[in-house]
């Protein structure tokens, strides 16, 4: 530290949990390297915390009584919001902006739900709200889409964007571990959200997908229109059948441009097992972006955890420091596109989205059920890509029939499934998992 003659930039960190602790440690450990990049030293002027047991050595660092003392501290030029949640975090960030301070946050819920409001206020005040850590942790995917792919018309984005969920699916598949047991480990490792249903029910991934779609397509943030399905109802039987058909099941967020609007959906997805993204395991995330000029790209790295996430927070801090002296009008727009040039193209309801489908039907051991199912599909113009029929299961005498269809509108498969479930030879609900080739 102290290597630059210009005054250090003073930052305040709110929340010293997993990401806050990691950020504190990386800023201290790599201070010199960071200053060589930023052109100024970055000094932690104050912290605000609730825990008496922070994940870093804070000795000698001034502590604020609460986050509002920190945001009102005239010394603090950049506020780093790492407390999580929406309500207090929103208040805190709005106050920081109002006080003319730049903000760095890892909070995807905050950005996905309140981002439009925060960015409008930030523009008014000429400050930056940076959020690289909010999507796919340490992977610099916001920067890649917003800046590196700025020459493209983006066709689609598809990603494994929840580390906890991918960790659970990978451990269950590779080691046969139980869902609840792996989730506990993900929580102990600091991967999971304060409320882990956000991870397993796809809400966290939908927050991130909402942000990705906005910067990819130049649309307002529309979290409430995202279709969200989690991993908690996946069975090991479907994982096994998918593998036998040459697929892996991943929990994907998919945003796709169509002629009628944008698809925005999070759900378990079968992907051909030989795709790179199908082999991204554990807490790793991977985001594929397909642009008209560049074709398909893949960005991969740790999607959660203390220092991988801190890597993104600190990169944002360096960006903020570099941009502090630039004219606010000429900075990279928060959502990549100029705010007065956003598209009003709608987000499509899931019934209008298109996908291929894996269907598992539990049939009575009678001849003719398969023919009836095939008729239901062909009457609706749905082609079958592959069929697998298993032996009758010993415990219930039912025959699992597994089909993979060609691409079709969701409402068409909904109708077909309803007709199948009404057949006398079909028992219970038909399991449906979407299938994407991602090429």
**Residue 312 in the binding site for Na ion (CB under 5 A):** yes
Query: Would you say 260 is a known binding-site residue?
Result: no
Locate 151 and state its tokens: 């020459």
Query: Would you say 428 is a known binding-site residue?
Result: no
* CB of 116 vs ligand LTNE7NMQ, minimal distance in Å: 21
Residue 378 in contact with residue 344, Cβ under 8 Å? no
Query: In the complex with ligand NAI, which residue's Cβ is closer, 23 or 405?
Result: 23
Question: Which does residue 67 bind out of ligand NAI, ligand LTNE7NMQ, Na ion, none, counting CB within 5 to 8 angstroms by kind?
Answer: ligand NAI
**Residue 106 in the binding site for ligand NAI (CB under 6 A):** yes
Which helix (DSSP H) or strand (DSSP E) does residue 32 occupy?
helix 31-38
Query: In the complex with ligand NAI, which residue's Cβ is closer, 87 or 330?
Result: 87
* CB of 208 vs ligand NAI, minimal distance in Å: 9
Cβ neighbours of residue 167 under 8 Å, at least 6 residues apart? 182, 185, 186, 191, 282, 283
Q: CA angle at residue 351 from 236 to 385, to 5 degrees?
A: 55
Reduced DSSP (H G I as helix, E B as strand, rest coil) percent helix, strand, coil of the chain, to 5: 40, 25, 35
CA 52 to chain centre: 30
Question: Which does residue 132 bind out of Na ion, ligand NAI, ligand LTNE7NMQ, none, counting CB within 5 to 8 angstroms by kind?
Answer: Na ion
**Residue 319 in the binding site for ligand LTNE7NMQ (CB under 6 A):** no
Residues 190-219 that bind ligand NAI (CB under 6 A): 190-191, 193-194
* CB of 250 vs ligand NAI, minimal distance in Å: 19
Residue 12 in contact with residue 70, Cβ under 8 Å? yes
For the window 127-166, what string marks contact with ligand LTNE7NMQ as x by the rule CB under 6 A?
----------x------------------------xxx--
* CB of 302 vs Na ion, minimal distance in Å: 10
Question: Which does residue 16 bind out of ligand NAI, ligand LTNE7NMQ, Na ion, none, counting CB within 5 to 8 angstroms by kind?
Answer: ligand NAI
What are the C-alpha distances in Å from 338 to residues 62, 119, 127, 145, 334? 39, 12, 15, 15, 8
* Of 10, 143, 175, 208, catalytic: 208
Query: In the complex with Na ion, which residue's Cβ is closer, 135 or 413?
Result: 135
Indicate which single residue of 303, 308, 400, 425 sits in contact with ligand LTNE7NMQ (rule: CB under 6 A): 303
Closest C-alpha to 437, from 153, 154, 158: 158
| The residue to which tokens 């960005």 are assigned | 299
Interatomic CA distance for residues 158 and 289, integer angstroms: 7
| β partners of residue 295 | 291
Q: CA angle at residue 155 from 433 to 238, to 5 degrees?
A: 10
Indicate which single residue of 7, 36, 50, 411 sits in contact with ligand NAI (rule: CB under 6 A): 50
**Residue 18 in the binding site for ligand NAI (CB under 6 A):** yes
Residue 415 in contact with residue 384, Cβ under 8 Å? no
Query: Would you say 295 is a known binding-site residue?
Result: no
Locate 309 and state its tokens: 């996430």
429 is catalytic: no
* CB of 66 vs ligand LTNE7NMQ, minimal distance in Å: 25
Interatomic CA distance for residues 137 and 311, integer angstroms: 8
Using the contact rule CB under 6 A, the part of the chain among 33-41, 187-195, 236-244, 349-357 near ligand NAI is: 187-195
Closest C-alpha to 78, from 56, 100, 62: 100
Using the contact rule CB under 5 A, the part of the chain among 6-14, 124-132, 334-342, 419-427 near Na ion is: 124-132
Q: CA angle at residue 229 from 184 to 224, to 5 degrees?
A: 110
What DSSP state is assigned to residue 368? T
Phi-psi map region of 126: left, alpha, beta (phi>0 left; psi -120 to 50 alpha): left
Residues 309-338 that bind ligand NAI (CB under 6 A): 309
What DSSP state is assigned to residue 282? T
| The residue to which tokens 């441009």 are assigned | 257
Residue 292 in contact with residue 153, Cβ under 8 Å? yes
Query: Would you say 425 is a known binding-site residue?
Result: no
Read off φ and ψ for residue 265, nearest 5 degrees.
-145, 145
* CB of 164 vs ligand LTNE7NMQ, minimal distance in Å: 3
Site residues, ligand NAI (CB under 6 A) = 14-20, 48-51, 66-67, 82-84, 88, 106-108, 133, 137, 190-191, 193-194, 304-305, 309
Going by the annotation, the residues of the binding site for L-homoserine are: 193
Site residues, Na ion (CB under 5 A) = 132, 135-136, 139, 312
Going by the annotation, the residues of the binding site for NADPH are: 108
Site residues, ligand LTNE7NMQ (CB under 6 A) = 137, 162-164, 191-193, 199, 204, 303-304
Q: So which residues are the catalytic ones?
A: 208
């Amino acid at each position: 530290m102290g290597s630059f003659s210009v005054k250090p930039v003073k930052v305040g960190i709110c929340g010293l949990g997993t990401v806050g602790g990691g950020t504190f440690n990386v800023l201290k450990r790599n201070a010199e390297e960071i200053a060589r990049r930023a052109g100024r030293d970055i000094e932690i002027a104050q912290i605000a915390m609730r825990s008496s047991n922070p994940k870093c050595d804070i000795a000698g660092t001034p502590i604020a009584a609460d986050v509002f003392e920190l945001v009102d501290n005239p010394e603090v030029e950049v506020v780093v919001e790492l407390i999580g949640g929406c309500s207090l975090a929103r208040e805190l960030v709005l106050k920081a902006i109002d006080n003319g301070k730049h903000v760095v946050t890892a909070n995807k819920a905050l950005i996905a739900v309140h981002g439009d409001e925060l960015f409008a206020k930030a523009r008014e005040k000429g400050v930056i709200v940076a959020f690289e850590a909010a999507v796919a942790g340490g992977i610099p995917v916001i920067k890649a889409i917003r800046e590196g792919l700025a020459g493209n018309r983006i066709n689609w984005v598809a990603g494994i964007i929840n580390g906890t969920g991918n960790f659970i699916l990978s451990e269950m598949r590779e080691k046969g571990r139980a869902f609840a047991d792996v989730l506990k480990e993900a929580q102990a490792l600091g991967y999971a959200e304060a409320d882990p249903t956000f991870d397993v029910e796809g809400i966290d991934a939908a927050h991130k997908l909402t942000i990705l779609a906005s910067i990819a397509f130049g649309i307002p943030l529309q979290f409430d229109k995202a279709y969200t399905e989690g991993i908690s109802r996946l069975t090991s039987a479907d994982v096994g059948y998918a593998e036998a058909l040459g697929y892996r099941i991943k929990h994907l967020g998919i945003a796709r441009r169509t002629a009628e609007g944008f698809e925005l959906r999070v759900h378990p997805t079968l992907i051909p097992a030989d795709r790179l993204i199908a082999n991204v395991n554990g807490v790793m995330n991977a985001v594929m972006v397909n642009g008209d000029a560049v074709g398909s790209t893949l960005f991969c790295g740790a999607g959660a955890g203390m220092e991988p996430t801190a890597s993104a927070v600190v990169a944002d801090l360096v960006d903020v420091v570099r941009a502090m002296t630039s004219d606010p009008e000429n900075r990279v727009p928060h959502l990549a596109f100029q705010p007065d040039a956003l598209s009003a193209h709608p987000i499509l309801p899931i019934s209008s989205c298109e996908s291929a489908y894996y269907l598992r039907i539990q049939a009575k051991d009678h001849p003719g059920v398969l023919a009836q199912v095939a008729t239901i599909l062909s009457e609706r113009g749905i082609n079958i890509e592959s069929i697998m029929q298993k032996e009758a299961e010993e415990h219930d005498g039912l025959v699992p029939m597994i089909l993979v269809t060609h691409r079709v509108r969701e409402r068409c498969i909904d109708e077909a499934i309803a007709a199948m479930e009404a057949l006398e030879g079909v028992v219970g609900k038909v399991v449906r998992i979407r299938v994407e080739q991602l090429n």
